[in-house]
Amino acid sequence: MQTLRVRQVPWSNPVGRGLREALRAEAGRGRAPSAAAGPEDDGAGVVVFLIVYELASGQPVGCGGLSVNADGSTAVDHLYVLPYARWSGVSSSITEELAAWAVARGIAVGGLSDPARPAALRL
């Protein structure tokens, strides 16, 4: 597994925007495991957004956010890993960091269930 660095960034971060655009493009071609293709949302429901970087190269390899729904449940949103970095633990790093962030703030994570979770595990 590669060495990774996870950074919390604002929703408006240009690198995050680029990764979300790549997610939408893949979803539009039917290749992405989750997320509907469509216009960029404003991220209003996302309470934290992370970007994962390859430590050696400094290149971004994935992203993901955490939403807290009105009923208090959590969901992983905008989970995306670049194709060349899949199957290398990037998505696990993202979900682990999101869970740690939530727990540190007293937010129950309940497994960070997401309807597309089985497909997201491919990342």
pLDDT in tens, 2-44: 699 999 999 999 999 999 999 999 887 765 555 444 455 788 8
For 92, the token pair is 């696990």
The values of phi and psi at residue 118, to 5°, are: -55, -40
CB 120 within 8 A of CB 80: no
Structural contact between residues 75 and 117, judged by C-beta atoms closer than 8 angstroms: no
Per the CB < 8 A criterion, the answer to whether 109 and 23 are in contact is no
Per residue in 53-74, pLDDT (tens digit) is 999 999 999 999 999 888 878 8
pLDDT at 90: 94
Identify the structural domains of the chain with CATH numbers, from first to last: 4-120 (3.40.630.30)
**Beta-strand relationship, 4-9 and 60-68:** unpaired
